[in-house]
Structure 1
Amino acid sequence: MTDFAFTCTGVRADPYAAGPTLVFRLRIAASGQARVHALALRCQIRIEPVRRGYGDAEAERLTDLFGERSRWGSTLNPVQFAQVSVMVPGFTGEVETDLVVPCTYDMDIASTRYFHALEEGEIPLLMLFSGTAFTGERGFRVEPVPWDKEAAFRMPVKTWREMVDQHFPGSGWIRLPRDTMDALLAHRSRRALPSWEATVEALLHAAGGTAR
């Protein structure tokens, strides 16, 4: 059976994608310089929050995910980030390919809240691989990619922020139920407020809060 080794060599934000998208660069090596006709690869990406440190401001923003810092010994568990597939063309021995990961800036998603909470440094990721390999020098053989294949990677926080800023420069968005959105629109119309920003600021002011 062909043995495969996976390494993530880098990541970049895709400036031409229709939505926020990260592109990870994978290096795949087949044992014994094996001939691989094609590789149908699945990749699950998890965040490993226990593998980095956090400043006080970051810890405060992560409270809704992991609770108070005093509880982190039991609550700092892995967070699911993405699950994607890629078809790798034929190669012999070793190849590099792009793994395209569509992202979201929806703050209801745990991974997005985690990324948003970080100020600098790196994000510890673990990539878990599986799939099907089509191999053989003279003929055709179908082999599984074992579930125990994985690769650790530390993604710079600045790469995530660069990706977000390409699509939401200096801003963000939240998802609301339709009836809540209708009520906000009615409030904005009654007060003749010029923008959604002014609408939210007016509500914050009325509630005794502040908006920058």
Structure 2
Amino acid sequence: SEDASLLSLIVAFIRRALGEHVPVLSVCAALPVVMSILTLIPVAIIGNDVGGSSTAIAAAALVALVPAHVGRTMAGDFTGDAVGMPFVCASLCSFLRATRKDGSAALSFFGATMYGCAALSWELHALVPQLIAVFVLMHVLAGRCSRATFQAYAIWYILSSCILVAPAALLERQLDFAPHVLPFFAASVLSVWRFGGYLVRFA
């Protein structure tokens, strides 16, 4: 399968970095555990941003102990779920931090890059743009949008859309438009929020 081919490339890259003497089976067995530990880092950062250190510890502990996560990151369970989740969490964490008033465009670029890694390793990666679109729409409805929110989503939306479209274009496959509807709607609403005042003035 495509996922198996990609995971094989990941193993080959790790073996090249560590040395060809490292057995393939050892890499395949250890990588899910390593990735599960890495997943806790962005989760803890998000928790700390939301409610401080106690929330960070609780969030990391919940992810570490929840059966759905444990069952997919056990040693030897070398699947896209285990490899992709750290990239998903890192993408969400970077975007959330980019929406702060002191957030930077670099965080949005990094978040979109992490999403690209998730898209290459997790077949359900299209859920990530949906989650971020819902977050943006809730911010608009709650009146909590800012220029940082607009900048973060504009960068993230453009790059993530390219990531979603590129594989279908390169492989000459039919593009599935369903995952693009909600993110496009969120981008449209956010654009109206940002530039609506200017349009009214010129009308």
Task: With the length of structure 2 as denominator, give the TM-score of the two structures.
Answer: 0.28
- Structure having the larger proportion of residues in strand: 1
Task: With the length of structure 1 as denominator, give the TM-score of the two structures.
Answer: 0.27
- Structure having the larger proportion of residues in helix: 2
If you compute each CA radius of gyration, which structure gives the higher value, 1 or 2?
A: 1
